[in-house]
Amino acid sequence: MKLFIDTANIQDIREMASYGIVSGVTTNPSLIAKEGRKLEDVIHEIVSLVDGPISAEVAEGKCEDMVNQAIPLSKIHKNIVIKLPMTWEGIKACKILTSKGIHTNVTLCFSVSQALLAMEAGATYLSPFMGRLDDAGFEAEELIQDIVTVRDNYGYETKLIAASIRNLHHLEIASLAGADIATIPTAVFKKMVEHPLTEKGLQIFADAAKGVK
């Protein structure tokens, strides 16, 4: 499984990328708004820090508008992935952008039928939202497993990005269910290294080292 970071905060991206385990970045309008900067400016900085897929989301609306916004974004860098909404207009835009060789990430996916639409449109990536599924009382693990099954049954090449990850349990579920990628908020990323038995073991080693002469 590849690990992406889900943020637009340059400091966080720089820190996590320094460990050598971040393979890509996803952003969205909410994350960009938190930084108080223009999308294009943030993307320019991100591509200098992470050599992997960088998802930049276009504004939801008409297909033509999304395509017109996507094309200049895609020209910023070869790693740019255009993030599109799961709407009919988004699907139409996905098909057009795919035909132009532009990578896409169809987001806000909550069902197998939606996933089928995105895969048929040639989406490079597909993002089911785990946290929001939980909020609505659905099983995120089951959805990921079902999408992976359908994808593999019919030979689609779309990669599955587990998104809306709010805790380590979501991450573990996504990895066990067969997601290709997990895009993880900084706070959850930092918890991945933590475990009470690790902390206990480190303390034992530290105490033992003090006794060595």
Active site residues: 83
* DSSP character string of 117-184: HHHHTT-SEEEEBHHHHHHTT--HHHHHHHHHHHHHHHT--PEEEEB---SHHHHHHHHHHT-SEEEE
From CA 212, how far away is CA 206, in angstroms rounded? 10
Which residues on adjacent β-strands are paired with residue 3? Answer: 182
3-class DSSP state for residue 85?
Answer: strand
